[in-house]
Structure 1
Amino acid sequence: MTTHSPAPGQTTAGTAPTAAGTAPTAAGTAPTAAGTAPAPLALPDAFTAHARTRPDAPALLWHERTVSYGELAGLAEAERRRLADLDLAPGEPVGLLAVKSPEAIALVLACLTERRPFLLPSPQLAPALLAALFAQAGARRVLAPLGEKAPALPVLAQAAPVPTLAAGTSFMLTTSGSTDLPKIVPLGQSAVDRFTAWAHDTFDLGPGRVVANYAPLNFDLALLDVWATLAAGGTCLLIDPAHALNARHLLTRLTRHRPHVMQAVPLAWALLAQSAGDTVLDSVEHAAFTGDAIDARTLAALPALLPNAALYNIYGCTETNDSFLHRLDRLDAAAALPVPIGTPLPGVRTLLATGDGTPVHGPGSGELYVSTPFQAAGYLDRSRDTGRFTTQPEGAGDGRRWFRTGDLVTRDERGLLHLAGRRDFQVKVRGVAVNTAEVERVLLTHPEVREAAVAAESDPLTGKRLHAAVQRTPGSALNTLTLREHLARNLPRAAVPEKLAIHDEPLAKTPTGKVDRKAVLPTP
């Protein structure tokens, strides 16, 4: 199988010229033998070094409050003492129920400093799902930040077998899940440190730099926004999740604190673009969208909103962290759809395969497999690795672990990859192959559609029945007849959803801020 990775010294789009895998300089480095690249300090050690040498430097900006590195270290020390007083076995994980705040970040830092594995799920998940996740992780103790009370969770009738965590496990994140039990993804501290080193080198996250954090702490995007920033000595501008959909609040925070770097899901950029008016975010030097496909209207608005920013598309999965980076041509951003996911990050290897495992060489289409320096070794429940964490499809036997993303991509003549949809978005309606992501894309091309979601429901006669929901723009009189005519002009008949709902309010979101496609389907 053909693999693609940067040659030594090759840079990814938008990065400073560094050798693949080079460690950061401002985040602090460990001494090494002469002639070798220095290894980055572990995240908690790098943070501690900044707190010791620059205690008055701003670490976090939270509403009207500035939290210095010294103050944050003091909060983390209080949490560390609380952890030390618990009856925990060496390596035993804890569960954290923490909504984003300085106190929540201090609790995570305490766990990192103590080398204590922790599960950090979305606090918005249903109590029964949270209880099941903590039980699966073997977390007997579930903690909220100091000053907060952890909510009572249901007691499970049968205790789950306690897993054996790999040595060095730190963060345990979860995949998106709204009704099914999310998968737990354990990340090794060394993988996290390699990622924070790349993030610092690429976006310059060090002292004097302000990085806006839109994502919740349980989302893997926070590894760059929060943890890589604190490892590098920068300042993290925290956006309160309670106001994440309030465009006026977002603009006020961003214009007041003038971040240099901002990464967010397309939803956040759409909110800003639609509400900014004449406001520009001229302090932003690096602006990245990630987590979902961006629509043409939002993409076209970004150059005016961000006049001094390089624009990036970042692609990755919770299981692998960021894998690809594409820097857009600002002068042609509106014509760049679909935006390429770009070229692999340093050390990332990729391969494409057809459904039967046949390798795709050169230009062509197939399912994307990736292997990254930042990825998990597998899910905590290894029975769920099947079909996702694997060796190369042709069984090369090199021992490398690959992650089967489920994403269908096309490689162009330049070697750039373009996302075409997901394997599980390919459905049959009356015998016709339909990609639900393409139906969403066509819905979003209507000028009065702000958000769109399409999902397929099993049907004994047609195979699948499509349901769609859209949020129309404020003041719009868009109706289902007009929207169906728009779809019929641009899609095969089988791809026009049978059920179509139009809403004035935003569509339901998953705990990571993406549109929840499952919510489109009728309740059983």
Structure 2
Amino acid sequence: MTTPDPAPAPAAPAVHAPVPPLSLPDAFTAHARRRPDATALLWHDHAVTYRELAHLTQRERRRLNALDLAPGEPVALHATKSPQAIALVLACLTERRPFLLPSPQLAPALLAALHTQAGARHLLTPAGQNPPALPTTTHPGVPTLAAGTSFMLTTSGSTDLPKIVPLAQSAVDRFTTWAHDTFDLGPGRVVANYAPLNFDLCLLDVWATLAAGGTVLLLDPAHALSARHLLTQLTRHRPHVLQAVPLCYALLTQAAAQSGARAPGTATVLDSVEHAAFTGDAIDARTLAALPALLPAARLYNIYGCTETNDSFLHELDALDATAALPVPIGTPLPGVRTLLAAPDGTPVTGPGSGELYVSTPFQAAGYLDRSRDAGRFTTQPDGAGEGRRWFRTGDLAVRDDQGRLHLTGRADFQVKVRGVAVNTAEVERVLLAHPEVREAAVAAESDPLTGKRLHAAVHRTPGSALNTLTLREHLAANLPRAAVPERLAIHDTPLPKTPTGKVDRKAVLAGAGPDTTRPAL
């Protein structure tokens, strides 16, 4: 009798090699040497290998070295997303040259003011892109930058001149390591990048991916509002990771539904996506409910962070979250992140309760480039919070539940008085977004000598909706105090205007305020 061979042992699960203990630019260079033919970037239908991207980077390094730059002197980049723009940033990183990376969509006067503040005498554009025409300014000199400064991002500037946020390369490297470990970035993995290059989301989508040796699918900002283009790119290139603002997911669900309408029973699904994160703004109920069908294999996340601190909280959704009441929790702090809620008197709230959110992360800036603007934002010691830690006061109001999860409830600076009644405009936006035919919403307040403040609202309704201002007013009146119902409503069939960082531009809402209207475009 022959003894049967033992059953083969089950194959061990594939494990990606850990991120080498290298800084981002050194890690990229190492991948280009070891795996030169691997794909680094996907741009429309063109693949750029690590070898090709390294060659583009080397060309930009030579251009940098030809400038009369003092040690530590920053340069300004005017970089619309493209492989050439990626190479220009990599050249600055490789040369350890600090660089200002503002939104190319800012007004010329704002860009010139930011260049002056950063002390950037030289403005560089990627190969093939024309530099903007900026007003002539004087440069008072190079500001004192902390050693190791790399990225200098900017805030949205929704109320005044954007603030410059210098990030140390060590902070960026700590973040890229967290991103690799959390979303399994690395060789053979494709990560879709929707955000513009100046947005801090790119630290995960682009820079953490290249540091880990993965492939970045660059979605062209010129087609950022084309639902069909976005869906085509994602179905063609099959990314494993997708992080984007809620608008991107709304567009994808719209395109998928339309594909099903053209061919009943065959609605497009993105079954390659394993991790899908939304961030940067509140997601509407309709889009959230559609995500499990659109992304059947994906783990869904809500990510919270600020430009000043980078990502701070992560919440993984379960099946119930997709149908639960909004807003989605921001979850619990990332490893190494400290957080506290401060009561109105400045003392920490322990256990369940509400207050203003403070965070301290391993990835944050030490302060703004203009330290005079730190006041009220960066602080070393909220009352009772302990010594030796630098906190960032987010301005967000939050509630901590019994499980320790945080839920945003509004903004401290969104609290206004209307006819003597305290109103939080973020809560009005939340109620607007709860309507099943509202895709985006924005509420702004303007001064009024009689009522204190007057509220104006604008919404982007879902395609094919017949929603009108009367119906929307009835919805608001059923869910809000009378003083919180906006005086004027505007309903649009196109997305609401955005700030350079991709958030709804409330200033534009106020500027376009007029009588109640239902119109096809803003």
Q: For 2:385 and 2:430, locate their aligned partners in 1 and report how far apart those are by CA, in whole Å.
A: 37
Deviation, 1:54, is 0.2
SS, match of residue 348 in structure 2? coil
Q: For 1:191 and 1:264, locate their aligned partners in 2 and report how far apart those are by CA, in whole Å.
A: 22
Alpha-carbon contact 1:311-1:330 (below 8 Å) kept:
no
Runs of 4+ in 1 over 3 A off after TM superposition: 24-28, 158-162
Q: For 1:402 and 1:25, locate their aligned partners in 2 and report how far apart those are by CA, in whole Å.
A: 35
Aligned to 1:108: 89
Which of residues 350, 362, 373 is equivalent to 1:361? 350
Alpha-carbon contact 2:154-2:165 (below 8 Å) kept:
yes
Deviation, 1:331, is 4.5
Deviation, 1:449, is 1.9
Alpha-carbon contact 1:200-1:228 (below 8 Å) kept:
yes
Aligned to 1:92: 73
Which of residues 20, 28, 46 is equivalent to 1:29? 20
Gaps of 5+ in 2: 1-14, 258-266, 514-522
Deviation, 1:467, is 0.6
SS, match of residue 340 in structure 1? coil
Aligned to 1:234: 214
Which of residues 133, 144, 154 is equivalent to 2:125? 144
Deviation, 1:336, is 5.2
What TM-score results when the alignment is normalised by the length of structure 2?
0.92
SS, match of residue 500 in structure 2? coil
1:388 has 2:377 as partner? yes
Aligned to 1:451: 440
Q: For 1:234 and 1:499, locate their aligned partners in 2 and report how far apart those are by CA, in whole Å.
A: 48
Q: For 1:79 and 1:174, locate their aligned partners in 2 and report how far apart those are by CA, in whole Å.
A: 23
Spell out, residue by residue over 1:166-212, the C-alpha distance to the aligned partner (whole angstroms, 9 max, x if none). 00000000001256210000000000000000000000110000000
| Structure-to-structure mapping, 1:416-455, within 5 angstroms | 416-455=405-444
Spell out, residue by residue over 1:370-408, the C-alpha distance to the aligned partner (whole angstroms, 9 max, x if none). 000000000000000000000221165622100000000
Aligned to 2:238: 258
Deviation, 1:248, is 0.3
Aligned to 2:517: none
SS, match of residue 331 in structure 2? strand
Deviation, 1:476, is 2.6
Kindly tell me: are residues 523 and 307 of structure 1, through their superposed partners in 2, closer, same or farther at Cα, counting changes over 3 Å? closer
Aligned to 1:53: 34
What residue identity is the alignment partner of 2:215? T
Alpha-carbon contact 2:174-2:363 (below 8 Å) kept:
yes
Q: How many residues end up aligned between the 2 structures?
A: 490
Alpha-carbon contact 2:321-2:328 (below 8 Å) kept:
no
Aligned to 2:23: 42
Q: Which range moved further: 224-233 or 445-454? A: 445-454
Q: For 2:506 and 2:187, locate their aligned partners in 1 and report how far apart those are by CA, in whole Å.
A: 40
Spell out, residue by residue over 1:309-332, the C-alpha distance to the aligned partner (whole angstroms, 9 max, x if none). 000000000000000111011254
Gaps of 5+ in 1: 1-23, 31-40
Q: For 1:63 and 1:107, locate their aligned partners in 2 and report how far apart those are by CA, in whole Å.
A: 19
Q: For 2:167 and 2:148, locate their aligned partners in 1 and report how far apart those are by CA, in whole Å.
A: 8
Which of residues 288, 292, 295 is equivalent to 1:303? 292
SS, match of residue 242 in structure 2? strand
Spell out, residue by residue over 1:388-442, the C-alpha distance to the aligned partner (whole angstroms, 9 max, x if none). 0002211656221000000000000111111111111111111111111111111
Q: For 1:275 and 1:219, locate their aligned partners in 2 and report how far apart those are by CA, in whole Å.
A: 25
1:125 has 2:106 as partner? yes
Alpha-carbon contact 1:27-1:46 (below 8 Å) kept:
no
Which of residues 440, 463, 485 is equivalent to 1:496? 485
Alpha-carbon contact 2:348-2:384 (below 8 Å) kept:
no
What residue identity is the alignment partner of 1:448? E
1:469 has 2:469 as partner? no
Aligned to 2:401: 412
Alpha-carbon contact 1:26-1:232 (below 8 Å) kept:
no
SS, match of residue 330 in structure 1? coil
Alpha-carbon contact 2:284-2:440 (below 8 Å) kept:
no
Deviation, 1:26, is 3.6
Deviation, 1:146, is 2.1
Q: Which range moved further: 142-151 or 403-412? A: 142-151
SS, match of residue 404 in structure 2? coil
Which of residues 209, 229, 232 is equivalent to 1:249? 229
Alpha-carbon contact 1:355-1:366 (below 8 Å) kept:
yes
What residue identity is the alignment partner of 1:210? V
Q: For 1:455 and 1:523, locate their aligned partners in 2 and report how far apart those are by CA, in whole Å.
A: 11
What residue identity is the alignment partner of 2:126? P
1:514 has 2:494 as partner? no
Q: Which range moved further: 330-339 or 300-309? A: 330-339
Alpha-carbon contact 1:284-1:308 (below 8 Å) kept:
yes
Deviation, 1:477, is 2.7
Which of residues 481, 486, 496 is equivalent to 2:475? 486
Q: For 2:78 and 2:292, locate their aligned partners in 1 and report how far apart those are by CA, in whole Å.
A: 38
Q: More relative contact order in 1 or in 2 (CA 8 Å, sep 6+)?
A: 1
Alpha-carbon contact 2:244-2:278 (below 8 Å) kept:
yes
What TM-score results when the alignment is normalised by the length of structure 1?
0.91
Q: For 2:109 and 2:512, locate their aligned partners in 1 and report how far apart those are by CA, in whole Å.
A: 19
Spell out, residue by residue over 1:432-455, the C-alpha distance to the aligned partner (whole angstroms, 9 max, x if none). 111111111111222222221101
Larger radius of gyration: 2
Alpha-carbon contact 1:360-1:366 (below 8 Å) kept:
yes
Deviation, 1:163, is 1.3
Aligned to 1:326: 315
What residue identity is the alignment partner of 1:344? P
Deviation, 1:147, is 3.0
Aligned to 2:62: 81
Aligned to 2:43: 62
